[in-house]
Amino acid sequence: MEEILSRLTKLKGTKRPAKRAGRGYGSGKGGHTTGRGAKGQKSRAKIPLWFEGGQTPLVRKTPYIKGFTNYTHADVYPLNLDRISKLFSDQSKINPDLLFKSGILKKGKYDRVKILGRGKLTKKIKFEGFVYSDLAKKKIERSGGTAN
**Could you tell me if residue 67 is inside a domain?**
no
pLDDT band at 126 (very low <50, low <70, confident <90, very high): very high
Report if residue 70 sits inside a domain: no
Examine residue 111 and state whether it is found in any structural domain, yes or no: yes
Task: Give the pLDDT score at 114.
Answer: 96
Residue 47 lies in a domain: no
Q: Is residue 107 predicted with pLDDT exceeding 80?
A: no
Does residue 142 belong to any structural domain of this protein? yes
How many angstroms separate the CA atoms of 127 and 99, rounded?
11
CATH number at residue 124: 3.100.10.10
Residue 39 lies inside a defined structural domain of this protein: no
Say what percent of the chain tops pLDDT 90: 36
Classify residue 86: in a domain, yes or no: yes
Instruction: Give residues with Cβ within 8 angstroms of 129, minimum separation 6.
Output: 95, 96, 97, 113, 148
Residue 139, pLDDT > 80, answer yes
Q: How many domains does the chain have?
A: 1
Q: pTM for the full model?
A: 0.54
Contact 129, 147 (CB under 8 A): no
pLDDT at position 133 over 90: yes
Distances (CA, A) of 121 to 88, 137, 147: 11, 11, 13
Q: pLDDT confidence of 61, banded at 50, 70, 90?
A: very high
Range of the domain at 138: 76-147
- Check pLDDT > 80 for residue 97: yes
**Burial tier of 123 (Cβ tally within 10 Å: 0-12, 13-18, 19+):** middle
Averaged pLDDT for residues 48-55: 90
Neighbours of 84 (CB within 10 A): 23
What's residue 95's pLDDT?
Answer: 92
Q: Is residue 24 part of a domain?
A: no
Among 5-14, 58-67, 103-112, where is mean pLDDT lowest?
103-112
